[in-house]
Amino acid sequence: MLDLIVAMNSTGLIGINDTLPWRIPEDLAYFREKTMGKTIIMGRKTFASLPNQAPLPGRTNLVVTRDANLHNFAPEREANIIAEQYIKMEDVFSLDKEKQAFVIGGGEIYRELLPHCGRLYVTFVYKNTPVNEYDDVYVYFPLTISQLINEYNIEHESEVYVSKTNETKYQFFVFCGKKSDDK
């Protein structure tokens, strides 16, 4: 079962210069809670943006890449970390459908796999980030929060929270199934 997890603002912004545009410890805890013990699927650039370019502990890390030299590479890691495995996009569709796996980014992987995801765990961040058109690289989710609300069924919508560390407002949504699929 493929699900998706993402944090985004109103424009769909999910990353700037290979990093998150905000730091919300409560959202990172939510991400950890939802993905712990599961398989996580990410693109090569997202993997490269992880701290120390190391797999996230306690999860099976699958890295989607077109680079055939990396496929089936799983370096030895510490015992508490499940090693990453580099796979082709088509290999994602042969994963065990009974086990929950989370798509965690980046933008290109979200675009490719969004139509195949059952649930979308979305943290909506009430923060707009100014655009610097000269030297910043911006990554966007394929849909804005408004589009998600209009096109998908909302299974859960939390209250609006305020981060204790930086007063950024955020809200958790879980979407399931497109509204047009109900007809």
Distance CA 135, CA 133 (A): 6
Peptide bond into 106 cis (omega under 30): yes
CATH, residue 85: 3.40.430.10
Per the structure, the count of domains in the chain is 1
Range of the domain at 30: 2-182
pLDDT in tens, the chain (183 residues): 899 999 999 999 999 988 999 999 999 999 999 999 999 999 989 998 988 888 999 999 999 987 766 544 444 443 334 567 888 888 898 888 889 999 999 999 999 999 999 999 999 999 987 777 766 789 999 999 999 999 999 999 999 999 999 999 999 999 999 987 554
The pLDDT value given to residue 65: 85
pTM of this prediction exceeds 0.75: yes
- CA 87 – CA 43 distance, rounded (Å): 10
